[in-house]
Each structure stands twice: as structure tokens, then as C-alpha cells.
Amino acid sequence: MPEEPRRSPLHGAHRALGARFTRFAGWEMPLWYSSIREEHEAVRHRAGLFDVSHMGEIEIEGPAALELVLGVATNDARRLRDGRVQYSLLCSPQGGILDDVTVHRLSGERFFLCVNAANTERDFAWIRRHAPRDAEVRDASAEFVQLALQGPAATEILSSSVPLDLRSVGRFAFVEARILDMPVLLARTGYTGEDGWEIYLRAPGLGERLWAALLDAGRSWGLVPAGLGARDTLRIEAALPLYGHEIDESTTPWEAGLGRFVDLGHAFVGREALERQLREGVPRRLVGLEVRGNALARPGNEIFAGERAVGHVTSGTFSYSLGKPVALGYVRPEFAEAGRPLAIGIRGRRVAAEVVPLPFYRRR
Amino acid sequence: MEFPEDVKYTREHEWVLVEENTATVGITDYAQDQLGEIVYVELPSVGDKVSKGDAFAVVESVKTVSDIYAPVSGTVVEVNEDLPDNPTLVNEDPYGDGWIVRIEMTDTTELDDLLTAEEYQAYIAEEEEAE
């Protein structure tokens, strides 16, 4: 028997909205409410509200908090100021990616990491294993509701709900505020390629109230609830990696095109292996592919150069913004340059594809 | 959700309209609703011979890809040429403009295995119950 799925504190609200649910990383979460296309387009042109309460939150506190973050994460957390967020990677000693995370600096002695649902427990154990005596690590995931308000109207919608002008808050910065009387942390981050906010509320019991308040505030801007289906099509267009697809323990940041989030000027788990791979070269690289015809490439489909298998697809979808199918996948480095014609094996047929620069979609 | 009485149904969520020796096949309103917006339909070729139970067409949405199984044996005599350019016809009008293929049947006794509208609805209810 499959294990009972975990459910968001907002499950009842989703059900009331007629959501279609899906299983993801052990959770039962909304896949769509109206349709993936409508929700995708709402986020690109207006705004969408996602329940992402399945994501994990790990708190690190104490005099050695910064030392711990530096020791386990590839990016240079010394560059973070209070109220700023940094995208970073946790790597194994072999340089494989254990997770991709956002690191929020509340103070020099208080950080919190937003981590992937599927990896929360492993990340927690991993970070705690590397913790010096003066750093306390807590898995606070069960205490949070997390929402993502994304789209060109997101900042205006959220500003209407708080006594702050959020336009002055920069990308990858966060502020603490109140919505109605609920204390929230508002981070100008997201996973859609649009302007937007990730909203953390440490009070699961108030989640439905926050959800309803935001949907209400956004009504006149055309805000709609959006599910994991649109989240996936949006993030693929923006070439944002999904753990278990583009990245996992067998892939390194160099291979995944995430080298800009690796700072070799500080010691961290995996640094030596990553330095070595930088010297020796990568065996494969993540590329974007535009796919001819209308069949969708799926994870695991082989990528061919002529008759030769040179890689595999990690994610594929229909790009609503481009009006054609696209895919992400790994290929041997000599086949990774833009313009290279390749083919994808889809259900026994070879479908023509071409390597294109990433991201597929960039907001103007 | 619609379950017209003039067609028969399979447990794989196809419908079959029988006119003399020809069976028109599509997917049910329930199936299109489960799949979400269809982005691609892979059709067989006219003249293809199919056996009952063969996966002979594919309907694809962003989230999933579904095989369409031949509900009867025979020869494909017509395919819906509008679908490659307008796959959402399957969503919009599953029992009408969203039909998929026509099969000239070789063994009409195979029709005896198909479900009535009432039986099919009961079958869906059972499946949902089991989830």
C-alpha cells in the first residue's frame, strides 16, 4: 500500500476551489484548479498564488551559524547582509548536488533555509551532522505555511495588503510584515521566472485565512490560484532546475549550469571534487532543446546526434509562452552548443530538436 | 460530465459509436477531464490493421500521456485530420468534433464486451472509490 500522503494546512481550501490533486514528494498538492494553461498565463501576465507548504524550512541559529552555512553551502554566505536571500547548493564530498536551497539571513547568528520537500529530512540530518557546537539546527517545516505570489502584478497586490511599499524591496531581499494580524516573512524570490514573493507564515492554523486574504486582495488584478502543473511549465520555461530531474546527487553544479552559485574561495563540503572537475572538464552539460512537432519529450527520453545516443531528457513540457514543446536534458559537452541539431527518441520515433540558449523565456 | 446513451464505453475510457460495420472511437468526457488540456494526438494511419486491445493512438496533455486502445478489431478507415492542429477539440467536444478514428470492424461480437453509459458511470464511481 502506498503511504498516506501528507497534506497542506490549506487542503480544505483547495478542495473548496475544486482543485485536481497530484502526489509530489510524498505530498498531495493541487495540480491545477482551472487549467495549467490558464494558470500559467495568469502568472506570466497578471499573477498566480501557489500553495508551496510542502517545501521545507530549516533554521540555523547561534554564534557559529554563519560558519555552518559556509561549511555546507557552495555560495559565499559571507556576502549576505541581513534581510537578503542567496540561492545556494548543498553538495556531497563528491560534488554531487544534495539539494538546492535559498538561504535567508535574519542576522549574523540567525539563518533559515528553504529546501525541497523531498530532501527536507536528509538536508536536516546533513546540516546537523556538520554543525559546530555553537550552531543549533532545527527542522521547522511543520510550523510553516508557505505561499508563492508570482507575476507582474504580485508586488502591487502584496503592497495593498501590508503597510509597506514593497516596490522598494530588491530582488532576493526579504522583509517581515503583517497581513491582517498575521506575522509573515515576505521574500522577493520565486520559481516562475516572474517578479514575485514567497510568503512564510509560522502559524499553520492561519494558513487558510492568509490564502483567502491574498486571493481577495488580488481579485481586481486577475490573481488566480495556481497549482503544481503551472509551476512546472513556468519553471521549465525559466530553466529553473527541479531536484530529481535536472539536479540530484549524480550531477554537479558545473554540469547543471549552476556554476555561478559556487564560490571556491571558501571551504565547503564538495569543494575539492568541484575544483577537480573544473580542471578536468565535465562529462555532460544541461541544455535547452526546442522540439519540432507537438509530441512532448519526457524525462528519460534519449537524445541522439545522428545514430549516436549522446544524452537524455530531464524535463519536457509544452511552452505556452513560446507555443511549442521544449525540453531540458543532459548531453555530452561537444553537443551542447546552441544551434546544434539533435533528435529525441519519443515513443520509438526520432523527433528533431535543436539546442537553444537558456532560459527559454525571460521576462522583459 | 456527459455520458451519452447512444455510444458504448470501454474500461480504458474510450467511447464507441457503432454505425453498421463502422466504429467511431474517441475518449470520454471523464477521460479528457482527467487529462487536462490535450496538447498532442498521435493518430494511426488509414489502412492500419488493429486488434482489440492494441495501443494504436496516443493522447497527450502537459502532465501525462495516455495510450488509446482499440476497442474492436478491424481496419482504420478514417482519422480525425483536425486533431493534429487542434488537439483541444478532444477537450471541447469529446463525443463530437473530438472523435479520433473510425474502424471498419471485423468481428462485431467484440462489441458485447463494451459497457453501457450506466455501467460505465458505475465503473468510474468504483475506480474513484478505490483511489
Put simply, the answer to whether B42 touches A296 (Cβ < 8 Å) is: no
How sure is the predictor about A295, in pLDDT bands with cuts at 50, 70 and 90? very high
Inform me whether the pLDDT recorded for A1 exceeds 60. Answer: no
Q: B36-87, pLDDT tens digit by residue? A: 999 999 999 999 999 999 999 999 999 999 999 999 999 999 999 999 999 9
Shortest CA gap A136–chain B (Å)? 41
Put simply, the answer to whether A229 touches B39 (Cβ < 8 Å) is: no
Put simply, the answer to whether B63 touches A37 (Cβ < 8 Å) is: no
Q: Which residues of A are less than 8 Å from B65 in CB distance?
A: 296, 298, 347
Of the candidates A35, A295, A296, which has its C-beta nearest B37's C-beta?
Answer: A35
Q: Which residues of B are less than 8 Å from A233 in CB distance?
A: 62
For residue A351, what are the CA distances in angstroms to A117, A289, A293, A301, B37?
A: 34, 11, 8, 11, 22
Of the candidates A22, A232, A296, which has its C-beta nearest B60's C-beta?
Answer: A296
Q: A149-181, pLDDT tens digit by residue? A: 999 999 999 999 999 999 999 999 999 999 999
Q: Which residues of A are less than 8 Å from B40 in CB distance?
A: 294-296
A32 to chain B: closest CA residue:
B36
Put simply, the answer to whether A37 touches B60 (Cβ < 8 Å) is: no
Put simply, the answer to whether B62 touches A22 (Cβ < 8 Å) is: no
ipTM for the complex shown: 0.88
Shortest CA gap B113–chain A (Å)? 29
Shortest CA gap A317–chain B (Å)? 6
Q: Which residues of A are less than 8 Å from B39 in CB distance?
A: 294, 296, 318, 325
Put simply, the answer to whether B37 touches A295 (Cβ < 8 Å) is: no
**A294 touches B at CB < 8 Å:** yes
Rg (CA), chain B: 14
The sign of the dihedral angle between the CA atoms of A64, A67, A72, A76 is positive
Put simply, the answer to whether B63 touches A22 (Cβ < 8 Å) is: yes
Structure confidence at residue B130 (pLDDT):
78
Inform me whether the pLDDT recorded for A72 exceeds 60. Answer: yes
Q: What is the SS3 assignment for B91?
A: helix
Q: A194-222, pLDDT tens digit by residue? A: 999 999 999 999 999 999 999 999 999 99
Inform me whether the pLDDT recorded for A2 exceeds 70. Answer: no
Shortest CA gap A199–chain B (Å)? 27
Stretch A121-139: mean pLDDT:
98
Amino acid at A295: A
A3 compared with B22, residue with greater pLDDT: B22
Put simply, the answer to whether B62 touches A233 (Cβ < 8 Å) is: yes
Of the candidates A32, A232, A294, which has its C-beta nearest B40's C-beta?
Answer: A294
Instruction: Please enumerate in sequence order all residues whose Cβ is within 8 A of that of A130, keeping only pairs 6 or more positions apart, or say none.
Output: A68, A71, A72, A269
Structure confidence at residue A3 (pLDDT):
75
Residues of B with CB under 8 A from a CB of A: 36-37, 39-40, 42, 58, 60, 62-63, 65, 84, 87
Shortest CA gap B97–chain A (Å)? 20
Sheet of A174-179, strands arranged across: A174-179, A182-187, A196-201, A145-150, A48-51, A224-226
